[in-house]
Each structure stands twice: as C-alpha cells, then as structure tokens.
A and B are shown apart, each in its own frame.
Chain A
C-alpha cells in the first residue's frame, strides 16, 4: 500500500469515525460519547489482535481513533470542575476509562480468538 493510498484510507476511516461519534452524541445524548468511546476501544482491541497490517492501522488509528475522543471528555469534566462539581468530573473520567479498558480487553481477547 503506497503512503498516499494509506493516507486516503485513514482520512476516510477518520471521517466515518467522527460522523458516527456525532450521531451517537446526537441521538444518545448525554451518554453518546461514553458509548462511542467504549465501542471504539473495543474495535481498537479487536483489530489489534484480529487484523494484520496495513489494514490494522486503518481500523485502529483511523476508525477507532476518530470514533473515540479524549478532548470532549476533558472539556465536559473541565466544565464540571470549574462549576465546583468535582465528584461529577472524577465520576465521568472513571466511567470513560473503566469502560474503555474493559472494552479494549474484550476486543483484544475476541480478536485473538478469531485470528
């Protein structure tokens, strides 16, 4: 795969991931970002053990990378913290990190089993 083809594939996968996250946030508000982060982490784990390069990067870096987000969680927890809701900020980060860790572990195990 040439690097131009690779970049085009990554850009397309990133576009799909971002739009799926937009739709999740829109239709599943206020839990959409949590769902996107969990599903994206599962996909990242699944493709890491179940798909070989170069397609792996398109799934992991492109689709899962763009479906999940760090900055959105940072900003929503920063709004909580600046408004004095520190417990909500800690709870929100804990939920995102715990769900993502479980999802990535399930993905790694599932991908390894189907390889």
Chain B
C-alpha cells in the first residue's frame, strides 16, 4: 500500500487539463446567474452543478472499480474535470455571504429581530445539510449505476482510487 513518491507527469498533466475544463464549465453554468438578479437562481444552478458532478464521479468510481482504466484518464476525469467542476468553497461562500447580509441588516436596523436572524442561520445550516445529504445520495446512485459493490467486512481499506 506504499504510495509512489510522485503522482506521475501524465496524471498531473491530465488533471491540469481536466481542472481547466471543469472550472470553465462551472463558470459558464453558475457565474452568469447572480447577475440575472435572483440569488435563488444562483443557488439552484450551483446545487445542480454539485449534484450532477457527484453523480458522475460516483459513476466513474463505480466503473473504474470493475475495469482497469488508464490512471491518467481516471485522474483527469475524476480529480480534474469533476473535482474542479464541483466546488465546496462556492457553496460555503454563498452561505456565509447570505448570513452576513442578514447579520449586517440586523446590526444596522435592529428591526428584523433575533428570531429572523436565528431563522436565517438555521435555514443556512439546514440548506448545507440538505445539500450534503443529496450529494451523498447522488454519488451513491452513481456508484451503484457504475457497478460498485461495498467491500466485504475486514477489507474496508480497499477501493480508494
């Protein structure tokens, strides 16, 4: 189980190319949304990007658990394209900024009241928990579709790509 000293240049190159592609895809799908005015549209498109990416990465992991695919191909698609296509910082940043706006409004006007603020914070945390649960569910569906089967007990260390 000793890891090689270096991931290998073919893997690094394909991850770089895949990362560029995944980033552009996410930018094209998500970035234009906030300018259309509705913050909800931004949340939905970011959610769809992250959930579709989770499903596809699950599918890739499922397929590559059964077939021997070139390492550079799996890394380029998985770590590169799908890893960069989905983003945790975008989700957490959007959640923090939404909460910070509520907090600023509360400090400046004092009017929304503590209950509104607490509801906003609880809503943000609930949305993050829902997103995480859906992400896991989509990835599990992808793994199953790809033919992944859980390792038998006692062999739980296997299966990492």
Q: Using a CB–CB distance below 8 Å, which chain A residues touch chain B?
A: 7, 10-19, 21-23, 25-26, 29-30, 37, 40-41, 43-45, 48, 57, 60-62, 64-75, 77-79, 81-85, 89, 93, 96-97, 100-101, 103-105, 108
Contact = CB atoms under 8 A, between A and B. Distances in A.
Contacts of B140: 78, 81-82
Contact of A11 (B23, B90, B136, B151): B23
B93 A75 contact: no
A30 B31 CA distance: 31
B7 A108 contact: no
Contacts, number: 209
Q: Is the interface of B mostly helix, strand, loop or mixed?
A: helix
Given A14-B20, A15-B20, A70 B156 contact: no
A47 B139 CA distance: 30
Contacts of B18: 18
B96 A96 contact: no
A68 B23 CA distance: 11
Given A67-B89, A70-B54, A79-B143, A25 B79 contact: yes
Given A26-B7, A66-B83, A66-B87, A101 B26 contact: no
B23 to A, nearest CB: 3
Contact of A100 (B50, B57, B89): B89
Given A75-B58, A82-B148, A18 B84 contact: yes
Which of A61, A65, A70, A103 lies at the interface centre, i.e. has the most chain B CB atoms within 10 A of its CB?
A: A70
